[in-house]
Amino acid sequence: MSQPGPVVSIVTVAHNAREILLKGLAALQSGTEVPAETIVVDNASTDNSAAAVRHAFRGVTLIRRDEALPATAALNLGAASARAPWLLFLDPGLAPIGDTVRTLVEHAGSHPGDRLYTGRTLRGHADDGRTVEGPPSLLGTACLAAGLPFEPERLPRLDRAIGGAVPALTPRMLLIERELWERLDGFDERLPTADLSLRAQALGARPVLVPDAQMLAIPPERPAGRHAAPEPDRRPARLVSTALLTERMAFVHRHSTPGRTRATGLILTAAALVRSGFGEPWLSIWRRRDEWLATPEPLPFVPLPRRAVAQRRELVGRGPDLPQP
């Protein structure tokens, strides 16, 4: 008898993160009983990550990139090799607390209408707030333009111990039905990751946080004898760039009203003009304002029909007879 296929395909993208990548893969391998396949995209690492994974984890599907891709493009590349009815995107260096994969999959099985799910990632005993986000907003744009440290899209007031419906999920930990993923055609590489959740909601899905599904962020190794302060329980600050503003303008073109789109452009243009006098990076942003203000509007989202999804599976050799979630 042939062995049943995997229930979940775990997709991880790593760049020069060999030690935490290996520790995270080992923890995942020993920490779940759910039949799973693991796909690692080595995104042009120079620290021998690919060789280390190939040596230590022969059952892992390894995709080696010589030239780095944008993060969402690398995630799409890894997902294209998946065979299971569920996709689980994970950052490298996350260790399950209990059987996190089972917790997510069982919750998905008992709440099939939601269709995309996340849990909590912890640093020490504190939630690092990186699995859930809000879509780009006018308030967030104003804070970005003014250089304020407050980022409302990070949902600082959300009680992540309660769980339930949330605005959007990040690929730090994201379980999604593969059929839905394929109908959405994956991440739109021109837009922030929150776009995926909004397009899924247009198809009736509901992004949810499952608070009992927890993973621990593995800290990087420190040199022997060195006692540094622990890392803060927050994401690194955003680096303002032309690419970031281009993403934001493309997002509001797709998901906001014309009035909000114009307001976003005016806020960012005024900020670029005023702050260009202080030098980089705003000076370059101001000089290239025609590029990010004229960001081509993304085409309206049209999901792939189910028949097209089935045909694409046949073309890539995965077959249409996979178990459905």
Return the domain boundaries, the chain.
8-221+303-315, 242-293
Q: Which two three-digit tokens encode residue 184?
A: 């959405």
**Angstrom distance (rounded) from CA 204 to CA 39:** 28
Which residue(s) pair with 121 in the sheet? 215
pLDDT digits 0-9 by tens, 2-60: 567 899 999 999 999 999 999 999 999 999 999 999 999 999 999 999 999 999 999 99
**Angstrom distance (rounded) from CA 160 to CA 223:** 34
Mean pLDDT score across all residues of the chain: 88
295 — pLDDT class (breaks 50, 70, 90): confident
Q: What is the mean pLDDT of residues 203-225?
A: 88
State the residue for tokens 């986000």: 133
Q: Does residue 309 surpass a pLDDT of 90?
A: no
List all residues 6 or more positions away from 118 whose beta carbon is below 8 Å from its beta carbon.
131, 132, 166, 169, 170, 172, 173, 174, 175, 207, 208, 209, 210, 213
List all residues 6 or more positions away from 206 whose beta carbon is below 8 Å from its beta carbon.
113, 114, 115, 116, 165
Residue 7 is which amino acid? V
Residue-level pLDDT at 324: 35
Residue-level pLDDT at 319: 39
pTM of the model: 0.88
CATH code of the domain occupying 8-221+303-315: 3.90.550.10
**Angstrom distance (rounded) from CA 286 to CA 270:** 9
List the single range of 35-39, 56-60, 228-232, 283-287 with lowest mean pLDDT: 228-232
Contact 189, 249 (CB under 8 A): no
Secondary structure (DSSP) of 278-306: G-TTHHHHHHTHHHHHTPPPPPPP-PPPH
